Structure 1
Amino acid sequence: MMSEQLFDLGQIVATPGALAALEGTDEAPMDFIKRHASGDWGCAHEDDKELNDDAIWDGTRIFSVYVTKNDETLYCITEADRSSTCLLLAEEY
């Protein structure tokens, strides 16, 4: 996994649902944010991964998908204007 931050994250937020999904695991919200920021797109579809690679340079939205140890699906989304990054449950999207 890469460790270098590849793009600005803006304000970092997480939904109550995402935070609740991580309770009782040894996973922290920033674990997923750091993966996202370093270009580890998780289990996003291959087309989304390619779009993310392009988005680093063209300034469009960046979208990652992760699965917690409790089998909850989390999305991590950085807005196109890089004003914010949100960690949320898939069903909250």
Structure 2
Amino acid sequence: MTLNCSAPQFTPGVIVTTPGVQALIEREALNPLPYLLRHIKGDWGDVCSEDWEENQYALKFGRRLLSVYNIAPELTLWIITEWDRSITTMLLPDEY
């Protein structure tokens, strides 16, 4: 797996959060900005190698991008950018 963390790899479109992520932000239990920046720079976090390769393909051919960040034992953040790069959603796995 290779990644280029120096420059954005795509434009994320409108960035939205689900109610679960928003509640964590409001309680100051989560700062999603570092993970969003990693996602935009092509660091897909804790996805399996197959999903990493799929994301690399998706960058070139316009498919959906998925990043997974295991932040704490009970906290995982998913970030999904739609195929047309119009919207990026930050969500918890149980909100999918």
Band of TM-score, shorter chain: 0.7 to 0.9
Identity of paired residues, percent? 41
Task: Show the counterpart of 1:66.
Answer: 69
Partner of 2:49: 46
Distance 1:3 1:70 in 2: 29
Unaligned stretches of 5+ residues in structure 1: none
Task: Report the equivalent of 2:38.
Answer: 35
From 56, 79, 90, the counterpart of 2:82: 79
Q: Alignment RMSD, CA only?
A: 1.7
CA gap of 1:70–1:16, structure 2 versus 1, over 3 A, is farther
The match for 2:93 is 90
TM-score (norm 1): 0.87
Name the counterpart of 2:11: 8
In structure 2, the partner of 1:20 is: 23
How many residue pairs get matched? 92
- Measured in 2, the distance between the counterparts of 1:70 and 1:15 equals 20
* CA apart distance, 1:21: 3.5
